[in-house]
Amino acid sequence: MKKNKIQKETTTKEVVGVDNSSTPAVSLTRSPKQKSIRNAKILGNTFTYVILVLAAAVVVAPLLIVLMNSFKTKNSIALEPFVFPTSKTFAGFNNYITGVKQSNFFSSFLNSLLITVCSTVLILIFCSMAAWFLTRVKTWWTKVIYYLIIFSMIVPFQMVMLPLTGVASTLNLDNVIGVIFIYVGFGAGLSTFMYAGFVKSVPVDIEESAMIDGCNPVQTFFHVVFPVMKPTTITIAILNVMWIWNDYLLPYMVLGTTKGETTLPVAIQISMQGGYGDINMGAFMAMIVLTIIPVIVFYLFCQKYIIKGVIAGAVKG
């Protein structure tokens, strides 16, 4: 009797489609609450992408306008600045050739390159060493020095530019080599602050291990500490390169306006001016394009480190 009953139950389950060996089927239909959450996420992502596209357009639009006007004739730039070049308004590379000749481009480019590279390298070396020392050696006078360096971030350049010009002339710093040390002084505040914040997150144990192995403080810094600072170092390098390469006011005040003896921004501005305020806008736009290309290329190669370095150096500081 029992056997017949079991066979009947098995037959009934097979007909109905129930399988005891498998887990119960889960309904694939979404509840209204799940649908509303999913729609809210889609709406939020769409809104975020729209904002990002608009922000990118705000940044890219001026660059695109400068690029397309660099290939247009002078009159077409004045009449139709927001229109793409046509067969009648296209000037080819004449604006670039004219701009390079008038601005003494290659001499100014070398001056800007020398000042930017040397200033950035010195800032990275001196500020990283200073931040490491001021962070690890905890005395009252190291705190005073640290806060004095940080205080330099608060003072704007416009407050000191006139006294700075006189001091630079007195100390014979009004030349390409001298302006490098001026940039090191102005860039020390932010760079030291970011380095100090990062050093606080570096364990002291690795430095003690290096010293136990026989490293002196200099070897410990350059072989152990400085390699660990790579994200912050690249971030500080990007910020200083973009600042020094594009700076106009400091070279204008210190180096003057002599062609071939100043930096690119100053050389471009003074060479494109004609009589009675007339400006060769085509050549001016062409020189701007040539000036921003090195910074854009440098930024694209290093930009993946900038967020990591800013967070590590600023937030933890």
**What range does the domain containing 57 cover?**
33-69
- What would the pLDDT profile of 93-116 be if each residue is shown by its tens digit? 888 888 888 888 888 899 999 999
Between 15 and 132, the higher pLDDT residue = 132
Whether 149 and 258 map to the same domain: the answer is yes
Closest CA to 207 of 227, 232, 192, 231: 227
Whether 60 and 169 map to the same domain: the answer is no
- Return the minimum-mean-pLDDT range out of 187-201, 202-216, 240-254: 202-216
Q: How many domains does the chain have?
A: 2
Whether 311 and 243 map to the same domain: the answer is yes
Whether 179 and 53 map to the same domain: the answer is no
Cα-based torsion angle of the residue sequence 34, 38, 43, 46 in order, rounded to the nearest 10 degrees: 180
| Of the residues 52, 69, 86, the one at which a domain ends | 69
> Where does the chain have alpha helices with state H?
2-16, 32-69, 74-79, 94-103, 105-136, 140-151, 157-170, 176-199, 204-212, 217-220, 226-228, 230-246, 249-254, 264-271, 281-302, 306-310
Q: What is the mean pLDDT of the chain?
A: 80
User: Does residue 32 carry a pLDDT above 60?
Assistant: yes
- What would the pLDDT profile of 38-54 be if each residue is shown by its tens digit? 877 888 888 889 999 99
